[in-house]
Chain A
Amino acid sequence: MSRETPSWIHRHSYNARICHWVNVLCFFYLLYSGIMIFLHFPELYWGKVGFQGYPAIFKLSDWGISWELAEELGDRRWGRNYHYMFAWIFVINGIVYLTWNLWQRQFYRKMLPSRTEMSGENFKAELYNHLRFRPAQGDAARRYNVLQKLSYLFVLFILFPFMFLSGIAQMPAFTAIWPELIDLFGGRQTARTLHVVATVLLVLFLIVHVAEVFVAGVRNQMRAMITGKYQISAEEGK
């Protein structure tokens, strides 16, 4: 292996790039249609049952948007149709992505943090770099950093499956197909509420994700996710 760093590397595979952009489309439509559905019943409950008049744990009307206004803003017919359509695209895209990456051992190679990366010292250093908005350079820029790795793993293997499961747990057919799943969530309304909570977490991830693209250099990052080519800048002081 040569010690000198080439200025260009191949950052993202075809599979990763295609799946990423399909996912962007799905994310947007699922979020938007989900909001449209939610606005038509803008309250959240805990447990098995919940309806207008039942004690709610969250009411949009407490935040200045009345039930009537929310209903007017929402569109559950459009929302439901598109939510399921893009849920299918999301699921199929996810299966393609997972299969390819497992096959190619990409998760193992790119996302699994090493023992040294998981050390407290490295964590502190990474966190410090993040808080100072100092993107990785040189050799370090060839890999995902540890916070990046962990957040991708969390989204891919915790949040996305959670969205899928809390979604199907709300479907009436699953009261016959897999009632234990609904019980596992603690009831149909809890599943619905947690579906919304996980949505908020995903939106927070998205905000940080996009912000990091800008911090690390939007041109280089976008080019890498479109063409695969990624420029490595020389490390400071070298």
Chain B
Amino acid sequence: MTAPAAKKYPRRKIIAGAGALGGLLLTGCDTDLHRPPVLRNGLMGVADTLTMASQRLLLSGQQLVQEHDVSEITKDFPVWNQSDPEDEDYQRLKAGAYVDWRLPVSGLVNSPVSLSLEELKRMPRRTQTTMHICEQGWSAIAQWTGAPLISVLEAAGGVKPQARYVMIDAYGGWYEGYDMFDVVHPQTILAYGMNGQDLPLGNGAPLRLRVERHCGYKQLKFIKSIQVVDSVEGFGRGTGGINSDFGFHWYAGA
């Protein structure tokens, strides 16, 4: 599937989200909030754009998702998709209790860094009890603790003005892309804790993404590295994520 000659839509600026988060140099960073990085052909692309644009319009206040009471936390939270990556590197890190695990943050950031789990845990943290909604139909509630993605990018000196997407790689060959609208949302966190404990293996140890407002397939587990880019080209089949490479809508808010 090739990228259709997409019409240029007016670019919007992220001001609201970044301003509220204070200090990050994302203010003034241009990105297109109303359509996916690659539009699908024909009516499907029109529908995708309608879905994403209408939801982004309704979300323009960067409202928080509903948080639930801890008493509502689901016992036996399901383990979906890969539960223990066969990746050799991953198995070695797991055997070492993730002491040697590092999170490289590179690409269009001002000072690339590589963070250990301890360093992430020393960062400002956020705990949220939210509902996980799988595209297949199930839902479950869990409490997640982690560092806001925006804090991690700040630790790397903030992003350069041409930054448009944050690409996250995971062990086991998974990867996903996120636009700045989701990156600056206060509830977008890199979670190392679940229900008050370290993130369990099946739920993506040692680090997974929580990008609330999206279906489960955007909640990447077993995170390996983060790269800030201005284009999704060169990643997988070039649609901006492994799920859209396989025919799902890149934007998973619906």
Report which A residues bind B (CB closer than 8 A). Answer: 37-38, 40-41, 48-54, 76-78, 80-81, 84-85, 88, 170-173, 175-177, 179, 182, 188-189, 192
Contact = CB atoms under 8 A, between A and B. Distances in A.
B58 A173 contact: yes
A177 B248 contact: no
A173 B137 contact: no
Given A88-B50, A177-B58, A81 B249 contact: yes
20 contacts: A41-B137, A48-B72, A49-B140, A49-B141, A52-B138, A53-B76, A80-B135, A80-B248, A80-B249, A81-B249, A84-B47, A84-B48, A171-B254, A172-B65, A172-B213, A175-B66, A175-B212, A177-B58, A177-B59, A192-B137
Interface of B: 43-44, 46-48, 50-51, 55, 58-59, 63-66, 68, 72, 74, 76, 78, 130-131, 133-141, 212-215, 246-249, 252-254
B213 A175 contact: yes
A48 B137 CA distance: 12
Contacts of A51: 74, 78, 134, 138-140
A175 B247 contact: no
A78 B40 CA distance: 13
Given A84-B47, A173-B59, A179-B66, A188 B135 contact: no
A173 B78 contact: no
Nearest to A167: B254
Given A52-B78, A88-B47, A173-B213, A188 B139 contact: yes
B137 to A, nearest CB: 4
A76 B63 contact: no
By CB atoms of chain B within 10 A, which of A76, A77, A176 has the most?
A176
